Structure 1
Amino acid sequence: MALTRMEILKLYKQLLRESSKFSSYNFRQYALMRVRDAFHENKNLTDATAVKKQVAEGYKNLAIIKRQVIIGDMFEPQRLVIEKQIS
C-alpha cells in the first residue's frame, strides 16, 4: 500500500492540532516545533519503506501527544507572562 501525499498531510495536520492542545505554553511550543522540524527533515524522502517507517513513527507520536494532553489537562499549569491571562 503506497501512502499518498494527502494521507501524510492529514497526519501532519493531526499532529499540529493535537500539539496545540497542550495547556502548558512550553510543552505546546516544543511539540509544535518538533512536528514541523520532523516533517521538514523528511520532506525529501522518496524510498517507500522509509516513508512508511516515518509515518508509523508519526502515528506513535500522535498517540503519545494525545495521552500527554489528557494528563496535562489534569493539572493546572502556571501561566507565563507571555501568555494571555484568562479572566
Structure 2
Amino acid sequence: MSTVARTGESAGKVLSLYRQLLRQGNQFSSYNFREYAKRRTRDAFRENKNVEDPRQVQELVQKGLQNLQMLKDRLVVEGGLSGKDKEGGKLRQKDTGWD
C-alpha cells in the first residue's frame, strides 16, 4: 500500500491514513483494544506494502477509511477516551480494574 508512489499525492494520503489509524487506536483506555488496533493497523499496512496498482491502492485506502470510522465509533461506544482536554481537565475514562 505504501510503495504505490514514493512521491506524490497517493503516498501522502496513505501515510496520513496510517498515522490517523495509529493515533485513533492509541486513544482506547483498554489495553487490549489499544494494542489490537495498533497491531492490526501495522499488520495490514505491512501486508499490502508492495501493492502498486493504483485502483487496488484506492480500494485499500477506502477500506482503511472505513476502519478509521469504525474505530472512532467504537471509541464513542466504549467511552474509552483517556487523557486531558484543552482546558487541562481529565477526559472521561473508565474505572481501572476488570472490564
Is 1:44 matched up with 2:50?
yes
Is 1:76 matched up with 2:97?
no
Measured on the aligned residues, the alpha-carbon RMSD in Å equals 2.0
Select which of 64, 72, 79 maps to 1:66.
72
Is 1:10 matched up with 2:16?
yes
Stretches (4+) displaced over 6 A: none
Report the count of equivalent residues: 79
Looking at structure 2, the residues matched to 31 and 66 of structure 1 have their Cα atoms a distance apart, in angstroms, of 11
Q: CA deviation at 1:77?
A: 5.4
The match for 2:87 is none
5+ residue gaps in structure 2? 1-7, 81-92
Is 1:31 matched up with 2:37?
yes
Instruction: Give the TM-score normalised by the residue count of structure 2.
Output: 0.72
Instruction: Give the TM-score normalised by the residue count of structure 1.
Output: 0.82
Are residues 77 and 29 of structure 1, via their aligned partners in 2, closer, same or farther at CA, if it must alter by over 3 Å?
A: farther
The one-letter amino acid of 2:43's match is D
Greater relative contact order (Cα < 8 A, sep 6+): 1
